[in-house]
Each structure stands twice: as C-alpha cells, then as structure tokens.
Amino acid sequence: MPQQDPPAMHDLAAPLRVGIVGTGEIARAHLPGWQDLGAELHCVGLQGADEFAREAGATAHGSLEALLAAVDVVDVCTPTPDHPAIVRAALDAGRDVVCEKPLALTGEEALDLVAHAERAGRMLFPAHVVRYFPQYVAAREAVRRGDIGTLAVLRFERTGALPDRPWYADEELSGGIVMDQMIHDLDQALWLAGDAERVYAQQSIAASDGAVRTAHVVLTHRSGALSHCRGFWGPEGTQFRYTFDLAGDAGRLQYDSAADVGIAFDPVASARQAAGDGFLPDVSTMRDPYAAELADFVRARATGAPARVEAADGARAVEVARAALESLRTGRSIAC
C-alpha cells in the first residue's frame, strides 16, 4: 500500500482557543494578532460582545464561566478594576492568561496575582506592548551593546487624548494618567536602566478642562541613573506622540514619533499618522506590536522559554506607579 505523506504540523495542532474578556478598544487592537495566529476566538463582555463577535468571527458567551469552559487561554481586556477577579477566575480554571496593563491598581494586588499564577502553575502575561514597539526594542539593543555607554539620564514622553470612555477620567477606576498611561514609560525605564529605588511625582490638571492633565515622574534607579517620564492627556483631537531621549557617558539616543512618519514619501502613511484617534498610536507602518506581543506569549507558552515581559515585570511597574501616586498625594519622594 502506498505510504501517505504525514500531515503537516499545522494540521495536527488544534487551533488555540482564546477567550477575550471585555470587547472594547484594546480588544480590537488584539484581534488581528489572534487572527494571525489562527486562534479560535471566544468572547464575553458587558456591552457590545455580540457586535464584536460578528466582526471577529468569534463565539459570544453569556457568562465568564461559560467562556472559561470553552477556551485554553484568556485575554483580559476589561477596565482595570476588573482585572484581578477575572485573572484569578481564569487561573483557577487552569487557563493561561494575557492581561492588559496595569495588572491591578495596587502593588499588593498585582503581586498577589503573580503568586496566584505560580501556585496554579499557569502563565500570566502582562501585555506591556511598548516592549514590542521596534523603536524601543532597538533602543534596548543599543543600550545592551554599550553603544551609549553607562546610562545617566533617560527621558520619556507620551502624549494622547484622554480616552473617551468615562472610567478613564475617574482616578479611582483607572489610577489616573500615571497608572494607566505613563506605566508604559515606567516599564521602559525599568527595562532599560534596571530597577528603581526612589520616585518623585508632580501632576497638574488644567483649571479650564479637567480632562487635560500632565504628570511628571522622576525615578532614581539603583544604578544611580535618573529617568524622567512626562505624560500628557489632552483634549479630544490631541495627536498620539511618544518620544525618548537616552543619555549615557558614551553617547545619546533620541526618538520622536512625530518626526517619524514611517515612509516619508508615502502621503497615505503620513495622513494616517496625523489622523489617528489619539487613544492608541498609529502602528500601520511597523510590524503590529500587539500581534508581536501575543505571538511572544504563544511561543513562550508552547516552549516554556521566558517571554519578553513576565508577570513580575507587570507587578513591578504597578508598584512603581503606585509609589508615584503616593508621591503625588504626599508631595514627598517615596522609596519604592
């Protein structure tokens, strides 16, 4: 009898079954990445889950329990206050978890989630997507190679419109600009210059428009390097922009997304960047960093090798952001 070719690997492997919890803005940013990975999609949400399911070709479930019974992996995309309970339920059901940043609103709760994942023997992947933006990856490589010598002063800026979902403006729910938006740059500072030991923060809220606010956070790293992070939430229409400026004793490395239209001669690429909604950066001219982070999670889950961002990194970013909030409250520099 003639031998048949063995089936290709992808024929043998069942698609990963992914349950997205919360079907708002960031769930839509994750969608192309899961689709690229060939995932079988499920979702549950308080509002708009049926519409999301139609767009995504996903199965909508009526409860978190029903979704947990149908999937291998849970992707937590709800507003931040709901992260801990959903992460715990997913881990208790034996599922591996991707959770949007911040993992939780307090360091204690974030550390408890890390311990919970360890006890359950499951992965908890905090979705710190900026570690997958090529500009920051290139900066980290340059720093590791020693291109700019020993780091001395790092500056990070992030500007965008205050997201229009009302829970963002409520600091009790979102943690405000430091916990929600600047946490990206706090994580970058820690990733590039190592752990921090002190934090000092200032914030100003526009008298004329409570939605407009600026925060500054200065970290003193254990190495002695200083990081200054500036976050700005502007009114509707504010263009998304991010910059960094890394100074070491052998050189300086700078990046400004406003000066980088991707493909300079392409009017479509330039127009897309200028017309973004201000809530999320335009990623149309780079490898989709949301897709890259999900692919890294899937690779780490399959191989047991570490992912670029681990649960403890997500908890540390929350602890440092929380110390910055304590500095805002007390006006003092806070040990972290």
Ligand X SMILES: NC(=O)c1ccc[n+]([C@@H]2O[C@H](COP(=O)([O-])OP(=O)(O)OC[C@H]3O[C@@H](n4cnc5c(N)ncnc54)[C@H](O)[C@@H]3O)[C@@H](O)[C@H]2O)c1
Where on the chain is the footprint of ligand X (CB under 6 A)?
21-27, 44-48, 77-80, 82, 100-101, 127, 129, 163, 165, 180, 280
Q: Which residue has the tokens 């999320």?
A: 280
- Residue closer to ligand X by CB (options 98, 225) is 98
**Which of 187, 192, 102 lies closest to 152, judged by CA?**
192
Q: How far apart are CA 72 and CA 306, in angstroms?
A: 19
3 Cβ contact partners less than 8 Å away, ≥ 6 residues apart: none
Q: 3-state DSSP call for residue 118?
A: helix
- Residue closer to ligand X by CB (options 170, 197) is 170
Smallest gap from Cβ 223 to ligand X, in A, equals 27
Q: How far apart are CA 13 and CA 44, in angstroms?
A: 25
- Residue closer to ligand X by CB (options 52, 200) is 52
- Residue closer to ligand X by CB (options 107, 248) is 107
Q: How far apart are CA 149 and CA 239, in angstroms?
A: 33
Strands 241-248 and 251-256: antiparallel
Which two three-digit tokens encode residue 8? Answer: 């290709």
Give 265's DSSP letter: T
Smallest gap from Cβ 16 to ligand X, in A, equals 21
- Residue closer to ligand X by CB (options 179, 226) is 179
- Residue closer to ligand X by CB (options 159, 200) is 159
Smallest gap from Cβ 80 to ligand X, in A, equals 4
Which residue has its beta carbon closest to ligand X?
24
| Cα 35 off chain centre by | 19
Smallest gap from Cβ 179 to ligand X, in A, equals 8
- Residue closer to ligand X by CB (options 47, 150) is 47
Q: How far apart are CA 23 and CA 67, in angstroms?
A: 13
Smallest gap from Cβ 329 to ligand X, in A, equals 21
- Residue closer to ligand X by CB (options 27, 56) is 27
Phi and psi angles of residue 200, each rounded to the nearest 5 degrees, phi first: -135, 135
- Residue closer to ligand X by CB (options 100, 319) is 100
Q: Please, where are the H alpha helices in 100-250?
A: 107-120, 134-145, 171-174, 176-177, 183-193
Smallest gap from Cβ 318 to ligand X, in A, equals 11
- The CA distances from residue 148 to 77, 96, 136, 227, in Å, are 37, 38, 15, 15
Smallest gap from Cβ 281 to ligand X, in A, equals 8
Counting Cα atoms < 13 Å in the Cβ hemisphere of 234 gives 12
Smallest gap from Cβ 25 to ligand X, in A, equals 4
Smallest gap from Cβ 255 to ligand X, in A, equals 17
- The CA distances from residue 253 to 39, 129, 154, 208, in Å, are 38, 21, 10, 36
